[in-house]
Structure formats: C-alpha cells, structure tokens
Structure 1
Amino acid sequence: MSNSTLRAWSWIHKWSSLVCTVFMLLLCLTGLPLIYHHEIGHLLGNEIEAPAVSPEQAQQRANLDTVIAAGKARYPDKVMMYMSQDAEEPAFWFLTMGAHANDEKFVSLAVDARTGKYVAEPPIEGGGFMSIMFHLHVDLFAGLWGKLFLGFMGLLLVVAIVSGVVLYAPFMRKLDFGAVRHGRTARLKWLDLHNLLGIVTLVWALVVGCTGVINTLADVLLKVWQATEIAEMTKPYQGQPIPTTLASMETSVKRAESAEPGMKVGFIAFPGTPFATPHHYGVYMHGDQALTSRLYKPVLVDATNAQITDRRNLPWYLTALLVSQPLHFGDYGGAGMQFLWALLDVATIIVLGSGLYLWVKRGRAAQKAEKEARRAAGLRAPALVREGDAR
C-alpha cells in the first residue's frame, strides 16, 4: 500500500472515529442495561407476575373477545390498537389502547390469557430508569430525527471499523498478532490495546453497528411497506366506509391459524393502525423456533366478517428489520448469549474510550513538540543576531 493511500485511510479512520465516538460510547453505555432489560425490570419491580390459578385453569385459554372486553371495561372511552403475546410470558395478553388508532399517549394493560381477567398495567413508560436508557439508545428523545441521526453515527462506526482493519494489517507486520508492548510509554501500550480489542470485537461491532442502523430505519421502512404492499392488498376496499362494528376476534384468529398451520399468533393490529388497514385486522403469525419466532407473516382479515382477504410473506427489508432487532441486543441465545453480548459491549467501550484517550494524548504531544520547537528557535535567534553584529 502506498504512503498516499495509507494517509487517506488514516484520515478516514481518524475523522469517522472522532465524529461518532462520543455517540457510540453513549449507545454502548445505554445498551448494556438494555441487554438485561427483563432481569432489571424484575429487580425494579416493573415486571408483572402471573396470578396463581388451578391446574385446570392453567390449561385453558380465554376467548379473545373476553380478553378484549376486559380491556374495554377498564378503559371504555378508548379503542383497541394492538394485542400481543410474548413467547416468554404466555400467561398474558398485552393490550394497547388509545383515544384513536394512532394515539401516541396509549395505555398498556395485561390480561390473564387463561381466565380473561384484567391483571395490571405494566409500568413501561413514565420516565423510569429503563425508559430513559431506552430513549437515549433509540432516539435521543428526538423522535424520528433522533433515530436517523443515530443511524448516521452507526454508518460512521462501520466506516471506522473497515478503515481500522485496512490500517491494522500493515501496522502489525512489524509485531506479533495481539502484541501489547510493555515497558514503553503509556500511550504506546494503550495504542496496542486499542488495536487488539478492536480486532477482537470486530465482527460483533460490525453486526451490532449494521443492525443498529437498520433499526433506526424502522419508521421509514414501515411507511414504504404501507405505501406499496399494504396499498396493493387493500385496493378492493378503496372508497368503502370504515367499519364501526368489528367482527369476532376469536373467529378471526382461528381462521388465521387454520390458514397458517404450524404458526402461532405473535401480535394483532386493529383497523387503522400502521400494521393494519382501516378495514382489516392484521394478524401476525410466527414460528416457534429461535429464528422463526422473529419472522412474521401477516394475515389480513376483513374486520366486518372475519374472512381472510390476503396473506403473504413480509418484504425482505421488513424481514431484515425483524431479524436485526433481537440480534442487536443478543436476544437469540438466552443467558449465555446475553453474557457474551455484555462482555463484548464492555470491550467496545474500552476501544472507544482508548481511542479518545489516544487522540487527546496525541494532540497534547503535538502541542508540546510545537512549544519546544518554538523555544529552541527563540534560543537560537539571539546567537544569530550577535553573530551578525560581530560581523
């Protein structure tokens, strides 16, 4: 590699790293507790516990219309937006309700999936510790523009990683792989450690960086999907009045399950929400394996008569989004993968912190060298003047 090419890559690595480092440190620090959000939620008392029921009741599943009625009894002035069931907590149906189908000030409540009775309102939002960590990590409390800004920082991280790899190869020709030179200056030791941890966390940082960028585009990708495939699927309903009386949810879900054998209901979107249409329920089915449980297949059900009108696989970009979300936080492999993700997160914090340290030390060293050069020039100037005077 020529010196000019090496200098170009060095410039790219330097500035892409400097611009994104502070924000990447913020994302790593806030992402660490989010890896263990369920465990921390239990410690903080934010997770609800399933009520004790008899062995017979434990095997039952409440009629979905009864589940919805429990929510409406709690909030008669609100409409249903979504209902979902977590694979890790099958004892609950979680209902999302608002003043209208796109209400941002929604409420969330848990209903016993076995008895159909209201249980509690999970304290998801409200300024708690995990809520603050989530918003700092996702959108900096700035909505869509905050997400897009963090996505751009993620792109700069990917550029910094790639340029770092390009620079690492010629640098390590003079050293053994992973060598950390002791007995020299602190800056040199931190440089070696920075390079070593950077290579060790390379694949993980690329995965988390790329999936993070994809996640920031979630709102945009959903709008693209709504404007293309959803619009195509609902053409026959254009011009028809919005239904005021909705069909049975129990019947709708049973028909969706019959149409997709071997799949389970992940969540249900009600008419008018972004994941449905003004005339349909969006019943989202998923598999029961670690990977397929994250891949959804929408089944559109006519909200007036519970008849299936369309079902198709999600477009590739939404599939990439759904796969990237759990991969970003290490949700695929249980406690072992969570621990690995946390360990690599800490290592990345050290890489980012050491990068800032090296940049600051290098700047100070340059300033010191410049001052010494000026001092030396000042000492030489009188001698030259005296020599001229002697002549």
Structure 2
Amino acid sequence: MKIKSDVLRTYQTIHTWTGITAGLLLFIGFFAGSLTMFSNAIDDWATPPDYQLQQIRPELHNELLNQVFADYPETVKNVTISYESNSSPIYWYGSGSARGFSLDDKMWHGTLDENGQLVTELKHVNELSMLVDYLHRSAGIVGEIGHDQAGVYILGIAAFLYFIALMSGLIFLLPSLVKSFFALRKEKGANRFWLDSHNLVGIASLPFHIIIAITVVVFSFHDLFYSGLSQVYGNKPLFGGEDKHHEVRYELEDLPTLNEIHAKVAQYAPGFSILSINFRGLTGEHPSASISIVNDKSFMRGPHNDFLFMNPYTLEIDTSSVTNGNGQQGIWGAVVTTFFGLHFGSYGGELGRWLYFIMGLGGAFLFYSGNLIWLEKRRKKQSTEQSKSSHFMANLTAGVCLGCAIGIAGAFAASKWLMLGDWNINVAYMWVYYALFLTSILTAFKFGAARFSIFGFYGLAALCLMIPITSLIGFIPQTGIWLPTSASDYGVEIGSIGFAIASMLAAKKVKKRVYEGEKNSIWYCSKYTSEQPSASLA
C-alpha cells in the first residue's frame, strides 16, 4: 500500500502526541484494570476466613430472612440474601452503601447457628479490590465533579485521545505492516526492539483496544449521552418497557417466598444461576428486588454477573434489565449491555478473564513503551546533551508507571498486617498507595529516571514477594495472619510471585542499559559516580 510520506508523517505526529498526552493516565487505568478481572479473588484473599459467617442450606434462607426482619426492622429498606459459599448468607450495611467508593462502610453479617437461632456481627468492609477499581476508573485523580470522580471524566478524555492514537498509528503502519508485523529486531538496537514490540502488541490486540477506548468514553460521559437521547425519546422509556411504577404500599407478610422468586427467575432467564437477592424499600411505594445472576456464556452488565430487577411482591420483571436473548430488552438496553459486557470481559468465563488480564497488561506496556520510544527519538534529534523536557518526561514516566505498580503492590503486601490493627482498613489502603506512589515520583525526580528505575523494579519485586512471605507467617500460631484457603487465594499468591520474577528480570535489563548504555542517553548513569547526562536549557 502506497501512502504519501507527508501524510504518513502527519499521522505519526498525531499518534505520538495523542499517545504522550494520555499515556500515563491510561497506564494506570490499564494496569489496575487488568487486576480488576480477579476482584472477587482479591477480596477473598484479603479477607480473613472468619470474616464471613457460615453459609446455610438454601432452604433455610427464608427462615433466616424472616428472623432478620423481626430483629432488625430497618433491614426492610435494604438487605441482601447470598447463596455464594464464600459469603455470609445474609448481610446489610450498618453505614455506607454499595454504591461508589466509600472508605467507612460497615456491614452487618447474619447466619443461623446449629439451633436455628440468628447470629449477627458488625464489621468494616474490606475493599482492597475497590481501591484497584477506583484507580482503574479514575487513575487515582482525587476530587469530584457532580456525582462522580473527577478522574472518571479526565480518563474519558484520555480514552478519546487514545482512540485517535490507535487509528493514526494503524494508518502510518499500514505500508510496512505485513513485512514487519512479527519482526523483533534485537540486533538493530534497543530502540528498534522496543518499537517492534510496541507495534506488535498494539496491532495484535487492536480490536480489544478499540473496544476499551470506545466503552471508556461512553462510561465517562454516559449522563451527557442519555441527556441527548432524552431529547429524542421525550418521556418514552429509553431502555424499553413501560413506566409501571404505581404508588402502592405492600405489607411485609405478603412477600412471596424465596423459592417463588427462584422459580420466576428460572422461567424468565433459563441458564442463569442466582448469586444473591437484594431487597430494597419493601414497605415503601416502590419495592424492588435486584437479583445477581450469572451465565458465563452470555453478555453480562457487571464484571462477574448480570442483574435482573423485579417487584418482589408481584414478581413482575423489568424486561430491560437482563441479557438472556429473549429480545425484550429494547434496542438501547441491548446496546448498553453489550458495551458493559465488552468492557468488563464478562462473557467468556475464566478464559475470557485471563485474556482480558493479559491484554490489559499489554495495554499498560503499550503506553510505557510508547513514552520510551518518544524519548529515544528526541535523543537522536538532539546533540550530546539532553533537554530538560526530555529528563522531565523520563522522570515522570518512570515515577508514575513504577509508582502505580509499587503503590498497588504495597497495599497488597500490607493488607494482612493492616487487618491486625483496630483501624479503618480502607483508609489505610489509601494512605499506603498514595504514600508509595508520590514517594516514587519524587524519588524519580530526585535521582533521575535511570537510577530510580533500577531500585524501583527491585522495590516492586520485594513488595510482591512480601505477599506470599506474609502468608507463610500464618504457619506460626497466634500471629493473627491467615493462610490461603482456596484456589483463588493461591492464585493471588502465585500471581504476586510472577510479578516479582518479571520485576527482577526487568531490573536486570535496566541495570545493564543504565551502566553500559550510551553515555548521552537519559538512561545512562555511571556505576561509580553520581554522573548523569547534563540537561541543556533547551
């Protein structure tokens, strides 16, 4: 394919500057986002085995629910029945709610003892996975705009730039795509190898990146999109169905049994299993039951499950609320569900989650390597002295990218130790992450990207290794540290070891380049002195 050179240069410039502008924010989003694929496993690992109360047989849940209503009348406003084996059979919020990222949530847990009597406990909610998801959605940018984090909107703008970078990169690579797609030319120098790796990862996972870019823009600005569509639809329901909200108050004794709710769900959504049922406003004018259901062979609105909404008294189902292939969702309901499913990767079971995890890490690599390539290109255009802007970007790249990974690893490494203290663990997670993240950035600017990259990767490896080492202390009685108890727990431990090995290998490579590379590079440092390349005033 023949494209004029001036056109290619234009698209290359667009690709470079849109990537540089948004790259560091997107690195955080992708790195944290890859970990959210296993958020349930993360929460299970970070929570002591005795945190959840003993699960009971499904036929006893109705009796448990009635006892909770009798002893805790406020639960008619909001209570959840859970059928998952690693969850308390019933729980409700003592403070806070399930919406948004809250640092001071407390939850009541309930179960039945061997005599059929109600047992309850009030505990802080451990939200380690929520911290990771918060970074994924907002890149850790603090502050709020309206009812959402400011970082969500900023990341939406970054995703739009990211889409432009993808399209422009594809265009200027087209002429050489077939010839150099699988080429990794190490013999032509580090920069060529980085460029080939960057292009290979970007092209190989292009459909995934297009999906993520578009869906992030939609999620970030969905309120604006809905407002625009409402100008067309007027008062007509946007997502199908009719407005059937009637102001009728029901009596709690008229509530159907859980078995009847199960039967209705099985009839409406065959192939889906019920994970939990959340009841809200049971004595109000608009009672509802939000039912968490799962089918790994179908698109689902959540990362791990779908939702079905019904009136818990009439068992009337909101036909726009579930993806079950019966065609009752309506056009926009189906569109929204597809966006959610494609972004979360919640349609391929464990294999789908692993693929999204790998491609998420590949996306983080894409932004990190893109900045390195840009810095090397600037070096070749400059004299033997590097500009201050090049040093600034190198320090920022190393500080933000490594700082994000170090901060998350530090929160994981500290998790089981923090559970031993009597404090709000979610606030502690935030302190650990931001302390390590900001310290990494300051250290990168203090010692330079080259020197910081070496001990940054070694520090990351050490924190990752602390995760399984801490668990081994659980063999010592009376320490309060607990051992892994499930396959998902062991998966977190093994994953941390994998990250530690990768970090040590990266540190070895970086160390060789820093001490043995070209002396006019921003990645060079003398092994014996504090010599670094000088920065010109350019």
Question: Which TM-score applies when normalising by structure 2?
Answer: 0.53
What SS class does the counterpart of residue 312 from structure 1 fall into? Answer: coil
User: Which residue of 2 is the match for residue 279 of structure 1?
Assistant: 286
Please say which of residues 156-165 and 215-224 is displaced more in the overlay. Answer: 215-224
Please list, as runs of the form range in 1=range in 2, the aligned pairs for 1:215-364 lying within 5 A after superposition.
215-217=219-221, 229=237, 233-234=242-243, 237=246, 243=249, 248-251=254-257, 254=260, 257-258=263-264, 261-263=267-269, 267-268=277-278, 270-271=280-281, 278-284=285-291, 286=293, 288=295, 290-291=297-298, 294-300=305-311, 306-307=313-314, 311-314=318-321, 315-325=330-340, 327-364=342-379
Note the C-alpha offset of 1:356. Answer: 0.3
Query: C-alpha separation between the residues in 2 aligned to 1:324 and 1:211?
Result: 6
> Mean alpha-carbon deviation: is it higher for 214-223 or for 148-157?
214-223
Which region of structure 1 is more displaced relative to structure 2, 179-188 or 191-200? 179-188
Q: Distance in 2 between matches of 1:178 and 1:280?
A: 57
Query: How far apart are 1:207 and its partner, in Å?
Result: 3.0
Structure 1: gaps of 5 or more residues: 372-391
Q: Is structure 2 residue 164 aligned with structure 1 residue 156?
A: no
Give the direction of change, closer, same or farther, for the CA distance of 1:67–1:226 in structure 2 (3 Å limit): farther
Cα distance in 2, alignment partners of residues 12 and 278 from structure 1 = 55
CA separation of 1:249 and 1:283: change in aligned 2, threshold 3 A: farther
Shift of 1:21: 0.4
Structure 1 residues 46-65: aligned runs within 5 Å: 58-63=57-62
Q: Which residue of 1 aligns with 2:4?
A: 2
The code of the aligned residue for 2:360 comes to D
In structure 1, C-alpha distance between the alignment counterparts of 2:112 and 2:48, rounded to whole Å: 19
- Contact 2:80-2:91 within 8 A present in 1 as well: yes
Q: Which runs of 5+ in 2 are unaligned?
A: 322-329, 387-538
Letter in 1 for 2:169: G
Residue 77 of structure 1: how far off its partner (Å): 5.8
For 2:134, the equivalent position in structure 1 comes to 135
Cα distance, 1:51 vs structure 2: 5.1
Counterpart of 1:18, as a letter, is I
Q: Distance in 2 between matches of 1:329 and 1:299?
A: 24
Please list the CA deviations of residues 208-261 of structure 1 after superposition, one character each: whole Å capped at 9, or x if unmatched. 333444444566788979975399845664xx5x84965644459836844871
Alpha-carbon distance in 2 for matches of 1:198, 1:63: 52
Distance of 1:131 and 1:346 partners within structure 2: 19
- Letter of the structure 2 residue corresponding to residue 360 of structure 1: L
Cα shift at 1:283? 4.6
**1:10 shift after superposition:** 1.9
Does the 8 Å CA contact 2:37/2:357 hold for their aligned counterparts?
A: yes
C-alpha displacement of 1:269: 5.2
Q: Report if the CA contact (8 A) 1:211-1:328 is conserved.
A: yes
Change (3 A) 1:135 1:292: closer
C-alpha root-mean-square deviation of aligned residues, in Å?
Answer: 4.5
Aligned identity (percent) is: 16
CA displacement at 1:72 relative to structure 2? 7.5
Instruction: Say if 1:34 and 1:329, in contact at 8 Å, map to a contact too.
Output: no
Offset at residue 281 of structure 1 (A): 1.9
